Amino acid sequence: MPIAPGSVGIVEKKYFTFANPPDEMKLESGGKLGPVTLAYETYGQLNDRGDNAILLTHALSGDSHAAGYYSEKDRKPGWWDFMVGSGRPFDTDKYFIVCSNVIGGCKGSTGPTSTNPKTGKPYNLDFPVVTINDMVRAQKYLIDHLRIKRLQSVIGGSMGGMQVLEWAIQYPEFVASAIPIATTSRLNAQGIAFDEVGRQAIYADANWKNGDYTLNGNIPAQGLSVARMLAHITYLSEESMHEKFGRRLQQKEKLGYDFSTDFEVESYLRYQGESFIKRFDANTYLYITKAIDYYDLPRDYGSLENAFKNAKSKFLVISFSSDWLFPTVQAKEIVRALKVDGKHVSFCEIDSPYGHDAFLIRNDGMEKMIADFLSHVYDD
């Protein structure tokens, strides 16, 4: 495994547990949960003042492994590896970087696959519904545990961007800057519809059994695979799919006129579905997509302007030209509300052919913009 210059190298996943009974964490739904464990990783060093920290928030299928490798045998680094390290936009020579798996996740944090202390069995659908607000409040427990006094910035894309907005609203004095990327203040009807079709694919799998399955048994793999295939289409753009696949046939010279895999794009989507079931849980997919669907700042505060009224962060809002899942018009709604409230906000739509997933792909413009913005915040 060649390690690129500036990489954080070999990293370790850590765990923090809080909200032990009878002091369970109160959830937005009115329920309680405890104990709660968050899996997390850190890169760089916290300074003596405790104010050089940056929190990275992940998207639906992400986790705490944002950068580096777990061992020398790892083929793939963390999901935002090119952004984190010495001399990179999230410069570990300057900043203390934190990334945690959200509550409700399946990569070490307490979620549907965790053991219910009351039964000794996995929670499955006995796990309470969690929201973006709950995810952020759980992260605050971790940030306090790490003795961070103030966050230089909270940064994330897609569902991670929702968490960024929530951090700026819930903890205005604590967050110096916020960088929501490829996100929205509320999912539109089309987005909710795509999530529901994905959930229906899981429900239709005979192995789902109303959520009562075990990870070492027959899991609803086919349903989860189809859900991932559908979702992955929304993360791409027509331009990127045409460039990558077009109508090219898959290792054949002519159509089979049957139901085998004819086109390269079919093979690609099946690969995405099959690889996803090896690293994600079906019940977790249900819970996290519901949390995304429920997120609605204008509803919760009466208007988007009211939502940001007390925010004190400096904002950098980023969208991508080919993102049709969370299009630029939704980013502009956030920018408009912040400007109405007189907040410090910068905005940029980055030209990219890669659709919603563009923030996960190297882009010189995005990297320089974020690095410069963070440097100004740091200097101030």
DSSP-assigned states of every residue in 292-334:
HHH-BHHHHHSSHHHHTTT---EEEEEEETT-SSS-HHHHHHH
Question: Is 380 noted as a catalytic residue in this protein?
Answer: no
d(CA 182, CA 90): 18
Question: Is 51 noted as a catalytic residue in this protein?
Answer: no
DSSP-assigned states of every residue in 50-101:
S--EEEEE--TT--S--SSBSSTT-SS--TTGGGEETTSSEETTT-EEEEEP
Question: Is 158 noted as a catalytic residue in this protein?
Answer: yes
d(CA 74, CA 1): 7
Specify whether the CB–CB gap between 78 and 101 falls below 8 A: no
Residue 206: DSSP 8-state:
T
Catalytic residue among 158, 185, 237, 319: 158
Catalytic residue among 63, 81, 356, 357: 356
Catalytic residue among 81, 281, 323, 357: 323
d(CA 39, CA 139): 10
User: Which amino acid is residue 72, in one-letter code?
Assistant: E
The tally of CA atoms less than 13 A away on the side-chain side of residue 17 is: 7
Active centre residues (catalytic): 158, 323, 356
